[in-house]
Structure 1
Amino acid sequence: MAARAYWQGQIRLALVSIPVEVYPATKSGAAISFHQVHEPSGKRIRYEKVAPGVGPVDRDEIVKGYEVEKGEYVLLEQDEIEAVKIESRKTLELVQFVDASEIDVLYYEKPYFMVPADDLAEEAYIVLRDALRQTKKVGLGQLSVRGREQLVSIKPCGRGLVMEVLRYADEVNKAQSYFRDIADAKPQPELLDLATTLIDKKTAPFKPAEFHDRYVEALHRLIEKKRKAKGNRRILEDPDEGRPAAGSNVIDLMAALRKSVGGGAPAKASTKSPAKKTTTKKTASTRNRKAG
């Protein structure tokens, strides 16, 4: 378990309080971070805290300020900010319960493990966990953490509970503005059958360990090549190397799906209709005859 909890407090359900601790359920992946470097000298670029007309300043002279007008700030000390009393600072009150399916996937932001703070809290914790599982509901509440109040959901996960931070409504774009131009049409039944057959063919249990960040792996290979190369020469790899040559964008969707279901290579997405493909071929054929 992590040495430091993300949040410590209590879940409150009516008159019942359950002391809990919350820990991150995820961690950073195998990302690569770069530094800015002065090429002629090979030295890393550093940044200083500066104030206009003053120059570099000491870190202990820096406080937080809220701009109320252009160039005018209200200065706040950290202990003043910490002293602001918000009920949800140490208490997560479950104010509503909903079906998990009612929460759109767009609202979920980040998961956390929630565990009982001690042995005395465990009994009430287990009761809440099993009650949520039996009713197939998730609990909603708000808690204050690291300078902001977060909307969260609580739901069962194995022998414990998972708390998921949710986005507020004003943080989620409306899907209609992006999808409104998509035609309200039904696909041909045969095309739909072929597509579902292809999905069934490629369906398998989810095993996260089988997926890797290929971009990060390629960067590691590039860095190792440059480390071994003399003179730090440039190495530009062709991202399309090893791929089959790209053909025409014009495909027959039915033929492509049939070929995919049969185990053939996937075809490129269609941008033109099959009818235009025939016309293009005829035109090319006519030109060839004229040229001959």
Structure 2
Amino acid sequence: MARPVWTGVLTFGLVTVPVALYTATEDHSVRFHQLQRDTSDRVRNKRVNERTGEEVPYEEIVKGYEMAEGEYVVIEPEELEQISPGRSKTIDISGFVDLDQVDPIFFDRTYYLGPRGPEYAKIYALLAKSLARSNRAGLAMFAMRGKEYLTAVRADRGLLELHTMHFAADVRDPEREVDALPGEDVKLSAQELETAEQLIGTLEVDWNPDDYHDTCAEQVRKLVEDKAAGREIVRSEGPPAEATNVVDLMDVLRRSLETAEGGKTKTEPATAGERQRARKPDRTPKAAAGTKTTSTKPTEAPTPAKKRVTAKNEDLDQLTKAELYQRAAELDVPHRSTMNRDQLQEAVQKGGRKRLRAAS
């Protein structure tokens, strides 16, 4: 069992329940050390006086706030400790807010809150069920590790969760930060909106967090393994994404909807770049060996035996992203609309192998 990072009491009104706080998430990012090239020598950071170039012991370092260029107000560690909020012993809920009123941008880190013992299970369950039924969260100020936090306590599946939150001053104004936001002058037709909503509905999925994983971290680990084993590193890069032409927006929406619904109709590529990269249409089947024909009309070829299609039979590297998406739709690959070209190619390869095993 994990050790709690904090223990204390949670209060609301005159109700008090002893609780323990546990870390809810962990970072699985790949970690690297810094080395000097062509050696195995570690490179480490040192605290150095920028004027003398000499290393400064940690106990001689103080904090300075720059008032003007080169002018500092020096703050001693003891002075910071005197005004530090210290460590809270209580999470005192001052009020309850409807969760639908809280923009997700305000949530930061998540912790689990558990009862400190089985004797507190009833009070804990009472608060958890009440919060879940009312769709509310308790708001409280809370100090931990020398820092004060605004927190929200909510319930999920019988478990209390504590979310640290950003203060209003920490959230940037999107109107100042984001250029070219659409204004009231942008006109959308009812047909465009209806088709886009149909496309969204067709691509609707049930939320299952296990369906998603950090593919970048997996690729980094594979790169490390391949280099350690002396294997050749091959990177298949697809063509860069091109913005949808606004003039063709309705046509692109219709064809996206057809693809999402598994339509088999061959359509023209969405952009000029895709049209240039698109493969030539299939030619008329050649006559059987040993026979000749001068007819300009295609002859009806005998129905060939079904050919097993595997990743080896197809040169997927030559397909455009749109063509890979069509293959993924035919294989009913989940979440294909969120994949880049490399992910689509990998998914099509896996889907082809699964279909081959099922046919066998």
Distance in 1 (CA, whole Å) between partners of 2:54 and 2:46 is 9
Distance in 2 (CA, whole Å) between partners of 1:6 and 1:155 is 19
The amino acid across from 1:96 in the alignment is G
Verify: 1:252 aligned to 2:248, yes or no: yes
Aligned to 1:67: 64
8 Å Cα contact 2:153-2:163 kept in structure 1: yes
Distance in 1 (CA, whole Å) between partners of 2:92 and 2:121 is 18
8 Å Cα contact 2:85-2:146 kept in structure 1: no
Alpha-carbon distance, 1:77 to partner = 4.8
Instruction: Specify the structure having the higher radius of gyration (Cα).
Output: 2
Q: Which runs of 5+ in 1 are unaligned?
A: 271-292
What does the per-residue CA deviation read over 1:27-85, in whole Å, with 9 as the maximum and x for residues that have no partner?
Answer: 113x2222221113232212334456594455xx527733256455332259x83x767
Distance in 1 (CA, whole Å) between partners of 2:241 and 2:105 is 35
Alpha-carbon distance, 1:206 to partner = 1.3
User: In 2 relative to 1, CA 249–140 (structure 1 residues): closer, same or farther, beyond 3 Å?
Assistant: closer
The DSSP-based 3-state class of the residue aligned with 2:217 is helix
Calculate percent identity across the aligned residue pairs: 25
Distance in 2 (CA, whole Å) between partners of 1:51 and 1:155 is 48
Map 1:47-196 → 2, pairs under 5 A? 47-51=45-49, 53=52, 55-56=54-55, 62=59, 65-67=62-64, 70=71, 73-77=74-78, 81=81, 86=85, 89-177=88-176, 178=178, 181-184=181-184, 185-196=186-197
The amino acid across from 1:106 in the alignment is I
The DSSP-based 3-state class of the residue aligned with 2:11 is strand
Runs of 4+ in 1 over 3 A off after TM superposition: 48-58, 63-66, 68-72, 83-88, 245-251, 264-270
Alpha-carbon distance, 1:134 to partner = 3.0
Query: Which of the pair has the greater relative contact order for Cα pairs under 8 Å at 6+ separation?
Result: 1
The amino acid across from 1:175 in the alignment is P
What does the per-residue CA deviation read over 1:218-267, in whole Å, with 9 as the maximum and x for residues that have no partner?
Answer: 2223223322338xx9x573432xx6x87896461111111111117994
User: In 2 relative to 1, CA 249–111 (structure 1 residues): closer, same or farther, beyond 3 Å?
Assistant: closer
Aligned to 1:227: 228
The amino acid across from 1:182 in the alignment is P
TM-score, with length taken from structure 2: 0.62
8 Å Cα contact 1:63-1:77 kept in structure 2: no
8 Å Cα contact 1:64-1:77 kept in structure 2: no
TM-score, with length taken from structure 1: 0.75
The amino acid across from 1:154 in the alignment is V
Structure number with the higher strand fraction is 1
Aligned to 1:289: none
Alpha-carbon distance, 1:16 to partner = 2.3
Alpha-carbon distance, 1:180 to partner = 7.3
Q: Which runs of 5+ in 2 are unaligned?
A: 274-360
